[in-house]
Structure 1
Amino acid sequence: MLARLALLVLAVQISGCALPAREKAGALRAEVVARLGPPTASFPLPSGERLLYSELPAGFAAYNLDFDASGRLVRNEQVLTQARFENLPVGIWTTADVQRTFGAPLRVERVARFEGDIWTYRFRQNSDPRLAHVHLDRQGVVRLVMFTDELPHFDNARD
């Protein structure tokens, strides 16, 4: 009985160690997927494939793991950052570029003063929760990126 409990605790600890951030260059695609499970999304690249592991909607990170044609990891990047959103090519990037880089948004909204969709992503700047709002016009071209602080959610409902 004690041995089974020890094995269960070890299995939980090992599974908790499987994080996209820990994957190193040179790792084989099959081994990465075996450790991390299926990706949130995958995208073909000119010279390989991108596996995206996103923590949204509850988390604040998304990792792009880029593999070459032979299935070896060549790049591992956490992309939900202020710098990445600030450097998004406005007027050039499309919906497909945004999704291939950041994955699916936390939410998609519309407002009266903009004709198109606003894709919102959560991220952390230092330890502060923030939101990036990517404005995509009707043709799916990025027109604006804005930032706001994510306000805490308070549930004032009474039982």
Structure 2
Amino acid sequence: MTAGWRPSLACAALAALVLAGCASEPTRLALGVTRAEALQRLGMPTAVYPLPGGGERLQYSRGPMGYEVNNVDVDAQGRVVSTRQELQESLFDRTIQPGRWREADVLRTYGRPYETARVGSFDGVVWTWRFKSMNAPRLLHIYIDPTGEVARYHTADDVMRDDVRW
């Protein structure tokens, strides 16, 4: 054993790091805490959006290269009422509303995209986010027409990932 090595101190330091990591994870935030407590635990959000009814959404994005966008919704009384990691493939069908959603709805849900592009088969812009499905890197593409309305979306494999060999 190395001189000065104290297993109990090392274990305590590791436990503190693990607990600090959990405290800064938005989806582990207890419902009902105040907005001020949420900000103290999570830090400044990457974006803040107003919600219907006087509440607001604190958005914590790990983009553009990350795979998560966590939304913390606060009601009009300043209490956390929900937390959710939005970039989950199982949520897309229930969340994205082609023909109804506008750019503002997309931003309020997913934040700024990883990439924006134009394609020859669509008159508009395609916004793209990175996410993981079963630990495999994937892409979410949302097609926004020239009026700012969501036309459609689809997911695809991230062909730029390291484990794909051509």
TM-score by length of 1: 0.85
Give the fraction of aligned pairs with identical amino acids, expressed as a percent: 42
Aligned to 1:129: 137
Q: Does 1:27 align with 2:60?
A: no
Structure 1 or 2: larger strand share? 1
Do residues 36 (structure 1) and 42 (structure 2) align? yes
| Partner Cα distance (1:10, 1:90) in 2 | 45
1:93 paired with 2:101, answer yes
Unaligned runs of 5+ residues in structure 1 are: 155-159
Structure 1 outlier segments of 4+, above 2 Å = 5-17, 83-87
What's 1:118 paired with? 126
Distance in 1 (alpha carbons) for counterparts of 2:155 and 2:15: 41
The code of the aligned residue for 2:61 comes to: S
Q: Would the aligned equivalents of 1:61 and 1:123 in 2 still touch at CA under 8 Å?
A: yes
TM-score, normalising length: structure 2: 0.82
Partner residue in 1 for 2:78: 71
Give the Cα separation in 1 of the matches to 2:125 and 2:91. Answer: 20
Query: C-alpha deviations, 1:77-103, integer Å up to 9, x for none?
Result: 111111332331111111011111111
Q: Please list every run of 5 or more consecutive structure 2 residues that lacks an aligned counterpart in the other structure.
A: none
- 1:52-107 alpha-carbon deviations (Å, 9 max, x no partner): 11111232111111111111100111111113323311111110111111111111
- Which whole-Å CA distance do the structure 1 matches of 2:121 and 2:36 have between them? 46
Q: Tell me the C-alpha RMSD between the 2 structures.
A: 2.2
Q: Say whether the 8 Å CA contact 1:86–1:145 is kept in structure 2.
A: no
